Amino acid sequence: MLNRDERTEVRVPAECTPALLVVVDTEEEFDWDADFDPGATTVEAMRHIGRVQEIFQQAGVRPTYVIDYPVATQQTGFELLRGYVDEGQAVLGAHLHPWVNPPQTEPVSRQNSFAGNLPRDLEAEKLAILIEKLEASFGQRPSIYKAGRYGLGQNTAEILENEGFKVDLSACPAFDFSNEKGPDFTGFSCRPFWFGRQRDMLGIPTTNGFVGLARGLGSPLQSLVTRPLLERLRTPGILSRLGLFTRLRLSPEGFDFREMRQLTEALLADGVRTFTLSFHSPSVEPGYTPYVRDSIQLDRFLGILRDYL
């Protein structure tokens, strides 16, 4: 995990034109409500990735596909993507899901689903194997990384630096995964930051934030209202409906166009000039994520993405 003194925040001048990065977590299908399963490695949704790529191309967007091991090693997973990358219509990145990435010597658990919790040598070996497979399938080495489940750890920066990565997309501001023994990002902002021994790697966080009259209270208020008792009393929902406090993510998964625009405008007013829109590749086909269960939800998902871009 990167402490505050291990990163140098980038302050982009307010007069600069805002920049949008689109990131697709490109991964296998699995049951989001079940335990992690090393055998769940199908990538059938990738047959339909053109549904979003068409929207990107119409909007003049060059997305970054951060790709994990099951996608990188199955032709159904990488075939269409390779064409997009070869034609300069997309950017290649690496995405590490430890439970489906060899060597699988660690116990499969919620704690170990965060790659940064693994022993240093094991995290490094898994990433090296993923890079090798991506090079074999795409003919190039990725320089962009995003940890599955935002799983940065105390050794991740050194490992990325040793492998020659230039950009990391793993930070998830306003979210705390410590109840699952994962990283706590409540000390991060949405602004990019330099990190690494030489401060030559760029961290670009997922765009998350708060809106509403009490948004200035930020993560401390979020930690308070999500305590078990207050959650049982539905306090977060009440505050949101009253327009006082809502946590949002720049994503068409679980958020509508109005919310995404509201978050964007709030962060623009704060001086943020770099935005990351993200979602998971299995959402391009109904039935694989909680966000897209049927054709109606698929149409809504694609419509939100199109409208925002």
- 263 pLDDT above the threshold of 90: yes
**From CA 120, how far away is CA 67, in angstroms rounded?**
21
Tens-digit pLDDT profile for residues 66-120: 999 999 999 999 999 999 999 999 999 999 999 999 999 999 999 999 999 999 9
Sheet containing 274-280, strands listed edge to edge, beginning at the edge strand earlier in sequence: 7-9, 193-195, 201-203, 167-168, 144-147, 91-96, 64-67, 19-26, 274-280
pLDDT confidence band for 135 (50 / 70 / 90) = very high
Which tokens belong to 1? Answer: 């995990």
Tens-digit pLDDT profile for residues 38-71: 999 999 999 999 999 999 999 999 999 999 999 9
> Taking the CA atoms of the chain, what radius of gyration do you get in angstroms?
19
Q: What is the pTM of this model?
A: 0.94
